[in-house]
């Protein structure tokens, strides 16, 4: 078996630093992110149109600070929120947790 091993020539490889690739990766990520947002907006719009005929309206939004999707089911006649996912209480708890995490990290830096 030792006779089957062939000599492999080792050549130096030019190092590619992560910093050199970072701007390109960020640009690609931003482009994908923008495309995804457009696709989601289009889907949400078509879903809203389909549901509107049933007497309720479904509203999709994103909380910018928490980066969480919020879904509201709204009565078309009264414009009252029938159901919200996640609830306002859960959103407030999430915001409080995030602010406490910020304090913890800011205090240790």
Helices (H) and strands (E) in the chain, counts: 2, 3
Could you tell me if residue 47 is inside a domain? yes
Tell me how long the chain is: 109
What total of structural domains would you count in the chain? Answer: 1
Could you tell me if residue 100 is inside a domain? yes
Residue 76: predicted pLDDT:
85
Could you tell me if residue 34 is inside a domain? yes
List pLDDT tens digits, range 10-62: 444 444 444 555 566 667 777 778 888 888 888 878 877 777 677 888 888 88
Name the residue range of residue 49's domain: 29-108
Calculate Rg over the CA atoms of the chain. 25
What the block records as the tokens of 32 is 């994908």
List pLDDT tens digits, range 94-106: 988 888 887 777 6
User: Average pLDDT in the 72-80 region?
Assistant: 90
């Amino acid at each position: 078996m030792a006779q089957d091993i062939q000599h492999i020539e080792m050549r130096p490889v030019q190092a590619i630093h992560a910093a050199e690739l970072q701007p390109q990766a960020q640009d690609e990520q931003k482009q994908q992110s923008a495309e995804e947002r457009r696709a989601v907006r289009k889907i949400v719009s078509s879903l809203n149109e389909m549901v509107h005929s049933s007497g309720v309206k479904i509203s999709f939004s994103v909380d910018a600070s928490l980066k969480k999707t919020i879904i509201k089911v709204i009565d078309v006649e009264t414009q009252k929120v029938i159901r919200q996912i996640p609830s306002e209480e859960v959103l407030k708890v999430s915001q409080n947790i995030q602010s406490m995490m910020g304090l913890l990290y800011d205090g240790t830096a």
